[in-house]
Structure 1
Amino acid sequence: MAQKEFERGAGILMHISSLPSPYGIGSFGKDAYEFVDRLVGARQKYWQVLPLGTTSYGDSPYASFSAFAGNPYFIDLDTLIEEGLITKEYVDSFRWNIEEQYVDYGLIYNSRFIVLKEAYKNSNHKALKEYKEFVKENDFWIDDYCLYCVCKNDAESTSWQDWEEDIRFRKQEALDKKIEEFSDELDFYRFLQFKFFEQWFKLKEYANEKGIEIIGDIPIYVAMDSADVWSHPEIFQLDENLEAKKVAGVPPDAFSDLGQRWGNPLYDWNKLEKDDFSWWRKRMEHSAKLYDIVRIDHFIGMTKYYTIPAEDEDARNGKWEKGPGMKLIKAISQAIGDKKIIAEDLGVKIPEVVEVLEKSGFPGMKVLEFAFDGDRKNEHLPYFWTKNTVAYGGTHDNDTLMGYFTGLQYWELGYIREFLECRHGSIEDIVDKLFTCAYASVANVVIFQMQDVLKVGNIGRMNLPSSMGTNWRWRMTKNQFGDKEVERLRYLTDIYGR
C-alpha cells in the first residue's frame, strides 16, 4: 500500500550542532526549545535535522560510529547542572569556542568528555528504573556500541580493522576480558546514551506538542569503521579477513570525471533478505522513535547500487548492481508503522528506481539550486514539480543561496533574474523571490536551510562534498533568528496556504 501524501506545509533545515549555545556546539537545551517556539511563530510545520549519530574524524554526521547511537556532544550541559551532576563553575572553567558562529571540534573533543565523565561520576543512574528500561529496550545495539567505543579507546582510536585479531574477529574470550577490564568505562558510554535519548525525547515531545514534526535523516550506508560493521560483519560484503570486497560510490558524471568513491562497505542483500531484513527493520524502528518523518539519503541504492572494487582509488571501474527494491521498502514500511518517509532520489534517473518510488508513494526531492542551468526542461524547475514532492532551496551539500547566487557568472544570474522577474534587484531580493517561488508552488512540502532564511553568505555553507577541514561548523548566533525573519516566513506560509 502506497504511503499517503504529506499535507501542504513548510519547514526549516538546521542541524542540532548549528543551534546557539554557550558551550561551543548546539545541544538539546534552552536554545533548542526557543528555536521550536520561533518555528511555531513562523507557521512552520517541519524541523529537519541531519543524522544525530556520533561523529568521527572529519566531523561528518554522515560518517558515524553507529547507526543507532546518539552524539554525546548534543547532551545539554545546563540540564546536567540543573540535575546537580556538575556545577556551573566547573563547566565555565573550560574554553568552548573561539568564534561564536563556528563549532571548534578540537576544543569540543578535548573538553566535552571530561565534563561528561564528571557528570557520570556524580550520577545514580544505575538505580533508576528508566535507565534499566532504556538499556533493555536498546539491547540490540547498545552493548556492542559501548564495547566498540572502549576497544577503540584502548587501541588509540584506530579503526577496528587494525585491532588485535581476537578482538577484530570478536572471539568471546577476548571480549569477556575487555568487558571485565573496562566495566566502568562501558557504563560511562551507556550513561551518555541514556542522557542523549532522555534529552532528545523531551525536546521532540515539546516540538510535537507545538505542532512541529521532526524530519530525521539516515544515510543508506554505514561507515566501515563503525560498531555496526564490527558487530554484524555477516550482513556486509566482506572477505575472510573482514576487508571490504567492494565499496560504495557513484559513477562519473558531468561534475566529476572520476566519479565518487565513498568507501562504505556494501550490504550483502541476499543474506539480509533471508532473515526478512531484520537489521534494517530494527534500524527503521529505532528511527521511527527518534523522528516523525525519516528521509533516506541515497534512496537509489535500495533498488540499484553502484559497486567499486575496493582496491580502486576512484569510481571509474564501478558497475551498477540490483538491490532488493520493493522487498526492502515493504519491510521498512512495516517497521515504521504510520511514520512517513522522504526519498532522497537526487542524481542519475534510473527507470527501476522511478518505478519503486511510484509504487511506494514516497515523495522524491527537488532542489532549486540545481534548476537554473539554462535547460528549460530541467526537472528541478518549479513548473515541473508535482504535489508529492519535497522541494528544497538547497541541501546540506549545497552552498547557501546567497553564496550560490554571488558565485554565478553574469549570464547565469541573468537567466535566474528573468525566471524570477527580478531584473534589477539585489542578491537579497533574488533570495526573497526564490522563497516566494517555492512557497507558491504545487509541492506539498517546501524546506529551506536556516542559513537561507538569515541570508548568510558562503561562510554558512554546511558541507562541500569531497573536502575536509571546514565542514559542519556553521552556527546560528543568539537572537539571529529574529522577528523580521519570523514575520516573513509567517507571511509566506499564510498567503500560500502552508
Structure 2
Amino acid sequence: MRTSGVVMPIFSLPSDFGIGTLGRDACDFIDFLAAADVHVWEIMPICHTDSSFSPHNALCARAGNPLLIDLQPFVDQGVFSSRELSRMDWGRDRAKISYSKVAAAKYKALEMVFDALGFLSDSSFDRFREDNQDWLENYALFAAIYEQFQYLPLPLWGDGVARRSHAELDRLRIRLDRRIRFYEYLQYLFYGQWGQLRRYAAQKGVRLMGSMTFELPETSVELWTDPAANDVSFRDAFADRWKQRLAWSRRLYDITKVYRRVDGEEVFAFYEPTWVTADDFCETLLQIGRASAGDLAAAGRYTHAFQKGFGERAAARHLPHWYDRTAIAYVGTCSDDTIRGWIKTLDKATAQDVNEYIGTALPRDQAWSVLRTMWLSQAAIVLSPVQDFLELGSSSRLSGFENPADNWTWRLRRGSLTNRLAQRIARMNRLFDRGGRQ
C-alpha cells in the first residue's frame, strides 16, 4: 500500500449553520478527495465532547457528537423550515465556530426534532437501543446528569451521584426520564447519518481514519462506571477493555489512530486488522501506557511528523529520508502550526535548514515543496491538513493557540476546494505513485 490522506475535522467543514455536519458538505468533501485521488480521510474524534468542545475530551468513547448531526433531513420531513433555522443565531463568523451559539441553536433544533419524531412508533430506534444497551443507557443518563449539573466536572456532582449510589441514580432516572430518552434519540440520529456517510465514502474509495485518546478524561461515562478504565497495571483487564474499544472502532472507521501525550511528548499507534492483530496491538498499547515521558521517544517509531525533524528538539526519525515502507507520516500534528505559519516562527538557521531540505526559500513555494518532499518518501501513508494544500497561515491552525478558546474553531470557507486544486493534488499522487483505488 502506498497512498495519501488529508486531515480534516468534520466540524470544520463548510456549513450554513455554524459547524460542519455529516450531511451534504461531508459528501462533497469526499467527492473532492476522490477527484484528488486521495484515499484516506482523517476526521479527528467524532465523540460527544464536554463543555470545552475539545474533540479529545469525550463524555463517552462511543457516543457521537450531536453537534455534527445534519438538520436538512428534518427540513425535508417538515419539522422546521430552512428559514426557521436561518433565523437562529449560529454565530456570524464564517471563519470560526462559535461553540456556545452553535450548541444553543443546535440543541434547540434537535429538541424540535425529538418533540416531533422521538415518541413515534419506530422499530429501528427500538432496535438501536437494544443493540447498544451495553453503553447507551449509561451514556444517556450521564449526559442528562451532566446537563443537570450545568456541565460541571464529575467530582463536583456530589458523592452520591459520583459514586453511583443506587438510590440517587434511581431518583435521577425518574426525574430525567425524558432527557435520557432525548440523548438516546440523538445517538440514533447520529449513527444513522454516520452509516450513510461511511457507505458513501466506501463507494468513492475513501477510507475513514478515526482517532481516540489513550486516556479517557475524568468526566466520562467510562471512568464513572469503571474508575480503573485507564489503569495499565493489570494486563488482562487492560487488554479486555481495549479489545472492546477496538471492536467498536471497527464499526466506525477503516483505520483507528490511538493518541497519547505526556509532558509534551506525543505518540501515535495505528490499528487496522490486516496490519496487526488485536492482541498484538493491545500489547503495543500496554507498552505505550506504561511508558514515562522520557520513554515515549523510543515508542516514537509510531510517530512521524515533518515539523519535528527541525529545531532544538529535532529528531532525525521525523525527516522523510528516514521513513520506511510501513511508516504513516504527517506534516505536523493537530497541535502544530500550518506549514506557512511554522516556517515564519523559525530562527534563521533552522529556516535555512528547512529551505535547503525542501529545495526552496520562496514563501509562495514552501508549503507545496514540503508536501512534495513528504509525498516522494517511502512512507506507506502520508497525511497533511487541508490547510497546507490551501497554503494558509497560523490563524487557520486547528489548535495550539495561546488562547484555548480559539482551539478547534477553524472553519473551511465554502468554495475553497476547487477543481483546480483537486487536479493539482491528483497529479502529485500519480507522480509519486500514491494514486489509484486502494
Structure 2 residue 62 is matched with structure 1 residue 68: yes
Q: Is the 8 Å Cα contact of residues 256 and 272 (structure 2) preserved in structure 1?
A: no
1:390 is matched with 328
1:110-121 alignment, distance < 5 Å: 110-121=104-115
1:289 is matched with 251
CA distance in 1, matches of 2:111, 2:411: 26
What TM-score comes out, normalization by structure 1 length?
0.78
* Deviation by residue 1:241-272 (Cα, 9 ceiling, x = unmatched): xxxxxxxxxxxxxxxxxxxxxxxxxxx2345x
What's the CA shift for 1:275?
4.4
1:476 is matched with 412
Q: Tell me the secondary structure at the aligned position of residue 342 of structure 2.
A: helix
1:102 is matched with 96
* Deviation by residue 1:430-469 (Cα, 9 ceiling, x = unmatched): 1111111111111110100011011110011111178511
1:401 is matched with 339
Q: Which structure: greater helix fraction?
A: 2
Q: Is the 8 Å Cα contact of residues 406 and 427 (structure 1) preserved in structure 2?
A: no
Structure 2 residue 354 is matched with structure 1 residue 439: no
CA distance in 2, matches of 1:120, 1:350: 46
* Deviation by residue 1:301-323 (Cα, 9 ceiling, x = unmatched): 9xx99xxxxxxxxxxxxxxxxxx
CA distance in 2, matches of 1:342, 1:280: 9
2:260 is matched with 298
1:444-463 alignment, distance < 5 Å: 444-463=380-399
CA distance in 2, matches of 1:353, 1:469: 29
2:232 is matched with 269
Q: Tell me the secondary structure at the aligned position of residue 140 of structure 1.
A: helix
Q: Is the 8 Å Cα contact of residues 232 and 238 (structure 2) preserved in structure 1?
A: no
1:121-160 alignment, distance < 5 Å: 121-124=115-118, 127-160=121-154
Question: Cα 1:465–1:68, aligned 2, differ >3 Å: closer, same or farther?
Answer: farther
Q: Is the 8 Å Cα contact of residues 47 and 55 (structure 2) preserved in structure 1?
A: yes
1:41 is matched with 35
2:348 is matched with 410
CA distance in 2, matches of 1:224, 1:497: 44
1:42-441 alignment, distance < 5 Å: 42-124=36-118, 127-236=121-230, 268-271=231-234, 273-275=235-237, 277-298=239-260, 364-373=302-311, 378-423=316-361, 426-441=362-377
Q: Tell me the secondary structure at the aligned position of residue 269 of structure 1.
A: coil
CA distance in 2, matches of 1:344, 1:483: 45
**Structure 1 spans left out of the alignment, 5+ residues:** 1-6, 237-267, 306-325, 359-363
Question: Cα 1:144–1:160, aligned 2, differ >3 Å: closer, same or farther?
Answer: same
CA distance in 2, matches of 1:37, 1:329: 24
Q: Is the 8 Å Cα contact of residues 288 and 336 (structure 1) preserved in structure 2?
A: no
What's the CA shift for 1:393?
0.9
Q: Tell me the secondary structure at the aligned position of residue 85 of structure 1.
A: coil
Question: Cα 1:349–1:390, aligned 2, differ >3 Å: closer, same or farther?
Answer: farther
What's the CA shift for 1:223?
0.8
Q: Is the 8 Å Cα contact of residues 365 and 390 (structure 1) preserved in structure 2?
A: yes
CA distance in 2, matches of 1:113, 1:134: 21
Moved more, 31-40 or 281-290: 281-290
What's the CA shift for 1:53?
0.8
CA distance in 1, matches of 2:374, 2:367: 11
- Which of 1 and 2 has higher RCO (CA within 8 Å, sep 6+)? 2
| 1:491 aligns with one of 406, 427, 430 | 427
Q: Is the 8 Å Cα contact of residues 440 and 496 (structure 1) preserved in structure 2?
A: yes
CA distance in 1, matches of 2:212, 2:193: 20
Q: Tell me the secondary structure at the aligned position of residue 52 of structure 2.
A: coil
What's the CA shift for 1:146?
0.8
**Structure 2 spans left out of the alignment, 5+ residues:** none
CA distance in 2, matches of 1:85, 1:54: 24
* Deviation by residue 1:16-47 (Cα, 9 ceiling, x = unmatched): 01100000000011111010000000000100
CA distance in 2, matches of 1:125, 1:84: 16
CA distance in 2, matches of 1:192, 1:292: 24
Question: Cα 1:79–1:335, aligned 2, differ >3 Å: closer, same or farther?
Answer: farther
* Deviation by residue 1:87-123 (Cα, 9 ceiling, x = unmatched): 2232122021221111011211221111110111011
Question: Cα 1:278–1:59, aligned 2, differ >3 Å: closer, same or farther?
Answer: same
What TM-score comes out, normalization by structure 2 length?
0.89
Question: Cα 1:163–1:349, aligned 2, differ >3 Å: closer, same or farther?
Answer: closer
1:26 is matched with 20
Q: Which amino acid aligns with 1:89?
A: R
Question: Cα 1:422–1:230, aligned 2, differ >3 Å: closer, same or farther?
Answer: same
Q: Is the 8 Å Cα contact of residues 295 and 342 (structure 1) preserved in structure 2?
A: no
Q: Tell me the secondary structure at the aligned position of residue 214 of structure 1.
A: strand
Q: Tell me the secondary structure at the aligned position of residue 404 of structure 2.
A: coil
Question: Cα 1:177–1:333, aligned 2, differ >3 Å: closer, same or farther?
Answer: farther
What's the CA shift for 1:194?
0.6
Aligned length in residues: 425
Q: Tell me the secondary structure at the aligned position of residue 208 of structure 2.
A: strand
Question: Cα 1:396–1:186, aligned 2, differ >3 Å: closer, same or farther?
Answer: same
Question: Cα 1:413–1:269, aligned 2, differ >3 Å: closer, same or farther?
Answer: closer
Q: Which amino acid aligns with 2:154?
A: W
Question: Cα 1:152–1:58, aligned 2, differ >3 Å: closer, same or farther?
Answer: closer
The share of aligned pairs that are identical, in percent, is 23
Q: Which amino acid aligns with 1:293?
A: I
Question: Cα 1:167–1:124, aligned 2, differ >3 Å: closer, same or farther?
Answer: closer
Q: Which amino acid aligns with 1:182?
A: L
Q: Is the 8 Å Cα contact of residues 85 and 120 (structure 1) preserved in structure 2?
A: no
Q: Is the 8 Å Cα contact of residues 9 and 445 (structure 1) preserved in structure 2?
A: yes
Q: Which amino acid aligns with 2:358?
A: L
CA distance in 1, matches of 2:209, 2:223: 26
Q: Is the 8 Å Cα contact of residues 295 and 343 (structure 1) preserved in structure 2?
A: no
CA distance in 1, matches of 2:357, 2:339: 16
